Amino acid sequence: MDISHLLDDLNPPQREAVTSTSPAIMVIAGAGSGKTRVLTHRVSWLIEVERLSPYSILAVTFTNKAAAEMRGRIETQLNMSTRGLWVGTFHSIAHRLLRMHWREAGLPQQFQILDSDDQKRLVKRVIRERELDPAHYPPPQVQWWINNRKDEGLRAANIDAEGDHYLSTMVQLYHDYEAACERGGMVDFAELLLRSNELWLNQPVLLKQYQERFAHILVDEFQDTNALQYAWIRNLSGKDTQMFIVGDDDQAIYGWRGALVENITRYEQELAPVEVIKLEQNYRSTQTILSAANGLIEHNQERHGKNLWSDGEEGEPITLYAAFNEQEEARYVIDQIEASIADGADRDQSAILYRSNSQSRAFEELLMQRNIPYRVYGGLRFFERAEVRDGLAYLRLVANRNDDAAFERVVNHPPRGIGNRTLELLRAEARRVNQSLWTTAQNGSAWGLSGRAAGALQKFSELIEEIARECADTSLADSIETTINRCGLLEHYAGQRSEKEQARVENLEELVNAGSLYQPDDEESELDPLSTFLSHAALEAGENQGDAWEKCVQLMTLHSAKGLEFDQVFLTGMEEGLFPHSRSIEEPGRLEEERRLCYVGMTRARQTLCITHAEARRLHGDTRITSPSRFIREIPADHLREVRIRGQVEAPVYRPGSSLSSAQPTANGLRLGQLVAHAKFGEGVIMDIEGDGSRQRVQVEFSEVGSKWLMTDYANLQPQ
DNA sequence: TAACGATCTTTTTTT
DNA sequence: AAGATCGTTA
């Protein structure tokens, strides 16, 4: 058998990882070391060389994107369909199990997935019903708390509040929330995992069956697993299961949402002896970038220890630019990008990375002004848009009348005269009789609702029943079309003719389209298509902004940059308080996570890396003087090159500890940040200086007339 | 019931 | 500064 195509382009440790027969393997895969390749080649190897049935392999990832990429690559390698092979996110696999074993899991067959938005509404309701002050118990915080408990594998009944008032209230809310979910047949994200883990614990026969089925379990991004995911994996693995995990402790950046890097060590201890394979050869970045990143990450105490190297080129030094403020920072970065594009680089090979989303603004404004196409990652995705969610809520009611979250969402949207007062009474009554809102609404006048309110609810019920009847024996696509057309949302938006409403109508039409394109997975094909479509919508929120695939400059947070790579990377806003973020500075553990985030950012770059910081930045309304990030100082200085304004290299811009000292005066006494007066334009601040002698010009931000470029020889600016 | 104004808040994000 | 949320008012 010719197996060369699976091994030829691998280095020795990669090859060892792909072919190893140890019962427990741990691959510590540095950034850019070919992690995905190892994972996919191993699966292909198992199937093609070891002749394992795809049916006996389970591969788990964190994102749908990673799962899709893995499946795609495996199919290409094997040149066959991967039917039977389970590749998916923790959540999608747990979901699949629950759909198959809903009875054993104690769920109604039609259970629906509650996304975080619905979850928040439900939590809010539970708080209201307890008559607690939402200021004392903010819904997002309660939601966060509940999810954290679930991620730890704890149910309300398992938590001992020990007389602590706050804690016991939280437990009570958790309890109410569980009851509300139960009543409506709803399962939130964390619940998917918790339930299926309980399925393992409560159904030993079923568990054994799966343990025997999966001879191989592969887990990607192991450093991001939380306690529940760890338990889930451990329970599922039988004594003959071969475990293959891939992770990188230096890229653990999700501790704040419950991920436990320690799971790596824990795995190593619990499954000893574990074969540890380190992938340290990097195929992405220049040696300079790697050395710099290594130098930085060495400042962390808690490490497995690993040193990335490359046999590629030394590459350019990392440039460091000290901007006057965030606008000037944007100007510098975008000038550089424009220059590289002029040199023939692709726009989408430049990425601007930042710590927090609000920083994208200055960049976006300038990119827009200069007509450079760009794409900002993050933000609302298709299935998260309000109108799409409304449409889905109608569908959910059609599928399951007891879905209270969906009921609340659309009962008066579009407005049909069911006001808050009515809803309040309805909620109270539903709670009293412990029934869903839908059921309670059916006999409004019987429990004392005014004739008018009861009538309005009646009409709403009839509408839903009617839609359901029309959808009864049609295809999924037709059901969705019927629902969207009949629910009244289209008319509601069509009435108003602004651009926004136009877009909403289009999105609803797109939802119909999404339904007709939807193909259930093989295992799901015999289940109710509407339910699986709704789950799909919740589990996979869709493309970010599937806008035209024109090549765009990429803007994103450092977190969303993980897993991506670009020729040219700008690491911006490298200032104390912003990055590392002020809320992380106190705790050593958090600070180390910030440092790993910086490491992740740096290692995204293939060719060039540029680090920028502003000496003054407008944040939350006021301008403050900032100092450069400690991370800049932690990068070995010999890999850095400081850049002056427009390429004039003189005294170093950056000196540790200095803030505004870098604004060097020019020959005629003007310097950045200088307050000046102009005969016609009034007072202003110097934002930029370029050229010298008779060709020197300065950019002044005037308080009256805005920003102007002026030739210094003619402007006659008076320093103030 | 909707619309307006006051008040509050502000890291990172997937499922 | 800006956006979301909330309570009050017309």
Q: Could you count the other beta carbons within 10 Å of the beta carbon of residue A658?
A: 14
Q: Which residue is nearest to nucleotide B1 (CA to C1')?
A: A419
Distance, in Å, from the CA atom of A320 to the CA atom of A630, rounded to the nearest integer, reads 13
What is the domain partition of chain A in residue ranges? 4-102+193-281, 112-184, 294-378+548-645, 382-542, 649-719
Catalytic residue check, A50: no
Range in A121-130, A198-207, A256-265, A711-720 the model is least confident about:
A711-720
Range in A321-335, A507-521, A578-592 the model is least confident about:
A507-521
> CB of residue A559 closer than 7 A to nucleic acid strand B?
yes
> CB of residue A131 closer than 7 A to nucleic acid strand C?
no
Q: What is the pLDDT of residue A495?
A: 66
Please say whether the beta carbons of A406 and A114 come within 8 A: no
Catalytic residue check, A270: no
The model's confidence at residue A622, banded by pLDDT at 50, 70 and 90, is confident
> CB of residue A189 closer than 7 A to nucleic acid strand B?
yes
What does the radius of gyration of chain A's CA atoms come to, in whole angstroms? 29
- Give Cα separations from A310 to A285, A287, A567 (angstroms): 8, 6, 16
User: A278 - beta bridge partners?
Assistant: A28
pLDDT tens per residue across span A118-150: 888 888 888 888 878 777 788 888 899 999 999
> CB of residue A140 closer than 7 A to nucleic acid strand C?
no
Q: Could you count the other beta carbons within 10 Å of the beta carbon of residue A81?
A: 10
**The one catalytic residue among A16, A19, A36, A316:** A36
Does residue A286 sit in helix, strand or coil?
coil
Look up the CATH number of domain A4-102+193-281. Answer: 3.40.50.300
Pick the CATH number of A382-542 from 3.30.70.141, 3.40.50.620, 3.30.465.10, 1.10.486.10: 1.10.486.10
Starting at the edge strand that comes first in sequence, how are the strands of the sheet with A57-61 ordered? A86-89, A57-61, A216-219, A242-247, A24-29, A275-279
Catalytic residue check, A221: yes
The model's confidence at residue A646, banded by pLDDT at 50, 70 and 90, is very low
Please say whether the beta carbons of A597 and A356 come within 8 A: no
> CB of residue A420 closer than 7 A to nucleic acid strand B?
yes
Rounded to 5°, angle at Cα A166 from A164 and A167: 65
Q: What is the pLDDT of residue A624?
A: 85
What is the average per-residue pLDDT within A389-417? 86
Residue A417: nearest nucleotide (C-alpha to C1'): B1
> CB of residue A426 closer than 7 A to nucleic acid strand B?
no
What is the average per-residue pLDDT within A332-360? 93
- Give Cα separations from A383 to A61, A121, A508, A564, A688 (angstroms): 21, 17, 10, 24, 44
Rounded to 5°, angle at Cα A326 from A322 and A332: 60
User: A690 - beta bridge partners?
Assistant: A697
Q: What is the pLDDT of residue A699?
A: 67
Longest dimension (CA), chain A: 89
Our measurement of CA A361 to C1' B10, in angstroms, reads: 15
pLDDT tens per residue across span A664-683: 445 466 666 677 787 776 77
**The one catalytic residue among A77, A143, A242, A251:** A251
Q: Is the Cα torsion angle A193, A195, A196, A198 positive or negative in sign?
A: positive
**H or E element at residue A458:** helix A451-471
> CB of residue A383 closer than 7 A to nucleic acid strand B?
no
Residue A622: nearest nucleotide (C-alpha to C1'): C1
More confident residue, A269 or A621: A269
Distance, in Å, from the CA atom of A503 to the CA atom of A515, rounded to the nearest integer, reads 18
The model's confidence at residue A656, banded by pLDDT at 50, 70 and 90, is very low
Q: What is the pLDDT of residue A693?
A: 55
Q: Which residues contact A643 (CB under 8 A, 6 or more apart)?
A: A319, A320, A321, A649, A653
Distance, in Å, from the CA atom of A425 to the CA atom of A350, rounded to the nearest integer, reads 56
Q: What is the pLDDT of residue A183?
A: 87
Distance, in Å, from the CA atom of A592 to the CA atom of A261, rounded to the nearest integer, reads 12
Catalytic residue check, A251: yes
Domain boundaries A649-719, CATH class? mainly beta
Q: Which residues contact A272 (CB under 8 A, 6 or more apart)?
A: A24
Our measurement of CA A78 to C1' B7, in angstroms, reads: 60
Peptide bond into A628 cis (omega under 30): no
**pLDDT at residue A655 above 50?**
no
Residue A652, amino acid: P
> CB of residue A361 closer than 7 A to nucleic acid strand B?
no
What single-letter DSSP state applies at residue A249? G
Secondary structure of A573-642 in HEC code, one letter for each residue? CCECEECCEHHHHCCHHHHHHHHHHHHHHHCCEEEEEEEEEEEEEEECCEEEECCECHHHHHCCHHHEEE
Distance, in Å, from the CA atom of A342 to the CA atom of A336, rounded to the nearest integer, reads 10
Its pTM stands at 0.83
What is the average per-residue pLDDT within A228-253? 95
> CB of residue A220 closer than 7 A to nucleic acid strand B?
no
Is CATH 3.40.50.150 correct for A294-378+548-645?
no
Our measurement of CA A559 to C1' B12, in angstroms, reads: 6
Topology match between the domains A4-102+193-281 and A382-542: no
- With a pLDDT cut of 70, the percent of chain A lying above it is 89
Range in A159-163, A218-222, A456-460, A478-482 the model is least confident about:
A159-163
> CB of residue A286 closer than 7 A to nucleic acid strand B?
no
Distance, in Å, from the CA atom of A482 to the CA atom of A369, rounded to the nearest integer, reads 43
Q: Which of residues 595-634 of A touch strand C (CB under 7 A)?
A: 618, 620-621
Residue A119: nearest nucleotide (C-alpha to C1'): B15
**pLDDT at residue A74 above 90?**
yes
Catalytic residue check, A220: yes
**H or E element at residue A514:** helix A499-517
Q: What is the pLDDT of residue A660?
A: 33
pLDDT tens per residue across span A558-589: 999 999 999 999 999 999 999 999 888 888 88
Q: Which residues contact A582 (CB under 8 A, 6 or more apart)?
A: none
pLDDT tens per residue across span A467-496: 999 888 888 888 899 998 888 888 877 766
> CB of residue A379 closer than 7 A to nucleic acid strand C?
no
Our measurement of CA A638 to C1' B10, in angstroms, reads: 37
> CB of residue A128 closer than 7 A to nucleic acid strand B?
no
Residue A124: nearest nucleotide (C-alpha to C1'): C5
Distance, in Å, from the CA atom of A63 to the CA atom of A113, rounded to the nearest integer, reads 17
Q: Which nucleotides of B are covered by protein (CB under 7 A)?
A: 1-2, 10-15
- With a pLDDT cut of 90, the percent of chain A lying above it is 48
The model's confidence at residue A498, banded by pLDDT at 50, 70 and 90, is low
Q: Which residues contact A204 (CB under 8 A, 6 or more apart)?
A: none
Q: Which residue is nearest to nucleotide B14 (CA to C1')?
A: A63
Q: Which residue is nearest to nucleotide B12 (CA to C1')?
A: A559
What is the average per-residue pLDDT within A192-221? 96
Burial label, A268 (beta-carbon count in 10 A; 0-12, 13-18, 19+): middle
> CB of residue A415 closer than 7 A to nucleic acid strand B?
yes
Q: Which residue is nearest to nucleotide B11 (CA to C1')?
A: A356
- Give Cα separations from A47 to A10, A78, A237 (angstroms): 18, 9, 19
More confident residue, A356 or A499: A356
Please say whether the beta carbons of A187 and A111 come within 8 A: yes
The model's confidence at residue A548, banded by pLDDT at 50, 70 and 90, is very low
Q: Which residues contact A356 (CB under 8 A, 6 or more apart)?
A: A557, A578, A581
More confident residue, A342 or A138: A342
Residue A684, amino acid: G
Residue A620: nearest nucleotide (C-alpha to C1'): C1
Our measurement of CA A123 to C1' C8, in angstroms, reads: 25
> CB of residue A455 closer than 7 A to nucleic acid strand B?
no
What is the average per-residue pLDDT within A371-385? 85
Catalytic residue check, A36: yes
What single-letter DSSP state applies at residue A488? S
Q: What is the pLDDT of residue A585?
A: 85
What is the average per-residue pLDDT within A698-714? 65
Q: What is the pLDDT of residue A696?
A: 61
More confident residue, A193 or A441: A193
pLDDT tens per residue across span A212-227: 999 999 999 999 999 9
Q: What is the pLDDT of residue A709?
A: 62
In this structure, CATH architecture of domain A112-184: Orthogonal Bundle (1.10)
